[in-house]
């Protein structure tokens, strides 16, 4: 093609009359779907417009002039009206025929088979149009493209936010939640400082500061409560000494579990237990750890690290050099 001669508007799209090398006038349309076959990166605004309002032939268009040799059945304008949600027609030289604009613009993945008419090349077997269109509409290719096209249109029409915006929105929500958590904590610190109350009591988990935080929670501060319940930092707390009335394993297990329940611990999250290696505690058949795990199967047993170190040192004392070294140190 050499040069453009004139531009006119037809069906809300630009129509350009051009001449080929033989001097014949060819009509091309900016919003003709044939222009976008096998085009990877289409501007999103243009894609949105093509999905909504592609170029379509007017009612006076001569479809018979587009027939390939040997074909007698022409495309019908009525089909565009009946299937306007997906069907469109290309008048572009070389690809004249029916297309699914959804599958052309939102290309489906190739699962198996070969994508043919309506997708990567024009459908021109018009005597089989109704049967072939039903097959296309029920295909995995069209179903996938329709789903992705709906998401695309929702985003472009501001009915849905994009993945990046969703991530940013989630991050913004997390920041705001953290600010609300800090608000209660900082206001408590300022209150203590203003009234000259020490932040720390006799222990790290006691004092006016911790009492005020607990008061916040008891007063209905659900955000602060959630912060303390979901804080992933491991915390060690001494709950108290527990006298054992009997020395049998069954009684000891019952006593320990009752004490934990009385301490308002959520035993559904009981996941670890640790004792020394004595058979009464660590026995795999009738030990205390086994009885407790029978009730709470997530409560895995771990040998006490201090006792394990003691046992290692005790075994090492059997080696003369180490035994003499320990004796010298003493």
Domain that holds residue 214: 163-230
User: What are the tens digits of pLDDT across the range 88-124?
Assistant: 898 888 888 889 988 888 887 766 666 778 888 888 8
Nearest one of 121, 73, 114, 74 to 95, comparing CA atoms? 121
Residue 29: which pLDDT band, with cuts at 50, 70 and 90?
A: low
- State the pairing for strand pair 300-303/272-275: parallel
CB neighbour list of residue 42: distance below 8 Å, 6 or more residues apart: 36, 50, 105
**Residue 281 covered by a domain:** yes
**Cα–Cα dist 18/22, whole Å:** 11
For residues 20 and 143, membership in a common domain is answered with: yes
Token representation of residue 228: 């303390």
- Give how many domains the chain has, as a whole number: 3
Question: Are the C-beta atoms of residues 42 and 36 closer than 8 Å to each other?
Answer: yes
For residues 12 and 82, membership in a common domain is answered with: yes
**Residue 57 covered by a domain:** yes
For residues 34 and 108, membership in a common domain is answered with: yes
For residues 150 and 167, membership in a common domain is answered with: no
For residues 118 and 259, membership in a common domain is answered with: no
Last residue of a domain, one of 202, 230, 258: 230
- Of the listed ranges 19-23, 49-53, 232-236, 254-258, the least confidently predicted one is 19-23
Report the 10 Å Cβ neighbour count for 31.
20
**Residue 243 covered by a domain:** no
Last residue of a domain, one of 200, 230, 260: 230
Residue with tokens 């004792």, as numbered in its chain: 275
For residues 81 and 181, membership in a common domain is answered with: no
H-only helix segments in 95-221: 101-105, 129-137, 140-156, 163-194, 208-218
For residues 37 and 122, membership in a common domain is answered with: yes
Last residue of a domain, one of 130, 156, 182: 156
pTM score above 0.75: no
User: What are the tens digits of pLDDT across the range 34-72?
Assistant: 888 878 788 888 888 888 888 888 888 888 888 877 777
Residue 165: which pLDDT band, with cuts at 50, 70 and 90?
A: low
CB neighbour list of residue 94: distance below 8 Å, 6 or more residues apart: 34
**Residue 44 covered by a domain:** yes
**Residue 238 covered by a domain:** no
**Residue 235 covered by a domain:** no
For residues 210 and 268, membership in a common domain is answered with: no
* 164 Cα distance to chain centroid: 11
Average pLDDT over the chain reads 79
Q: Which helix (H) or strand (E) holds 81?
A: helix 77-82
For residues 194 and 314, membership in a common domain is answered with: no
For residues 130 and 8, membership in a common domain is answered with: yes
Say what the pLDDT of residue 10 is. 37
**Residue 82 covered by a domain:** yes
What DSSP line would sit under 306-317, residue for residue?
HHHHHHHHHHHT
**Residue 306 covered by a domain:** yes
Residue 233 has what DSSP assignment?
S
For residues 100 and 185, membership in a common domain is answered with: no
Evaluate the CA torsion angle 19, 23, 65, 94 in order and state its sign: negative
Question: Are the C-beta atoms of residues 187 and 221 closer than 8 Å to each other?
Answer: no
For residues 151 and 186, membership in a common domain is answered with: no
Which of 225-238 are b and which e, b meaning 16 or more Cβ less than 10 Å from the residue's Cβ? Answer: bebeeeeeeeeeee
**Cα–Cα dist 301/276, whole Å:** 10
């Amino acid at each position: 093609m050499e040069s453009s001669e004139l531009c006119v508007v037809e069906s809300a799209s630009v129509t350009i009359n051009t001449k080929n090398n033989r001097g014949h006038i060819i009509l091309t349309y900016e919003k003709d779907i044939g222009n976008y076959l096998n085009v990877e990166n289409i501007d999103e605004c243009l894609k949105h417009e093509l999905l909504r309002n592609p170029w379509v032939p007017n009612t006076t268009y001569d479809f018979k002039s587009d027939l390939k040799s040997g074909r007698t059945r022409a495309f019908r304008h009525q089909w565009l009206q009946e299937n306007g949600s997906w069907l469109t027609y290309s008048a572009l030289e070389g690809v004249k025929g029916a297309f699914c604009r959804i599958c052309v613009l939102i290309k489906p993945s190739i699962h198996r088979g070969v994508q043919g008419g309506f997708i990567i090349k024009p459908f021109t077997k018009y005597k089989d149009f109704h049967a072939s269109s039903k097959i296309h509409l029920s295909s995995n290719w069209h179903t996938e493209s329709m789903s992705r096209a709906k998401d695309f249109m929702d985003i472009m029409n501001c009915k849905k936010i994009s993945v990046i915006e969703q991530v940013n929105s989630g991050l913004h929500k997390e920041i705001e939640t953290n600010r609300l958590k800090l608000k209660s904590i900082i206001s408590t610190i300022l209150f203590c400082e203003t009234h000259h109350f020490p932040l720390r009591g006799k222990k790290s988990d006691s004092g006016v500061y911790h009492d005020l935080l607990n008061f916040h929670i008891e007063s209905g501060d659900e955000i602060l409560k959630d912060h303390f319940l979901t804080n992933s930092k491991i915390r060690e707390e001494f709950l108290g000494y527990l006298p054992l009335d009997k020395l049998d394993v069954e009684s000891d297990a019952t006593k320990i579990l009752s004490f934990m329940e009385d301490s308002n611990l959520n035993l559904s999250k009981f996941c670890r237990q640790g004792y020394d290696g004595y058979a009464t505690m660590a026995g795999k058949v009738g030990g205390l750890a086994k009885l407790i795990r029978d009730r709470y199967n997530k409560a895995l047993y771990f040998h006490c690290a201090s006792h394990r170190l003691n046992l290692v040192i005790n075994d090492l004392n059997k080696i003369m050099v180490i035994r003499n070294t320990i004796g010298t140190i003493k």
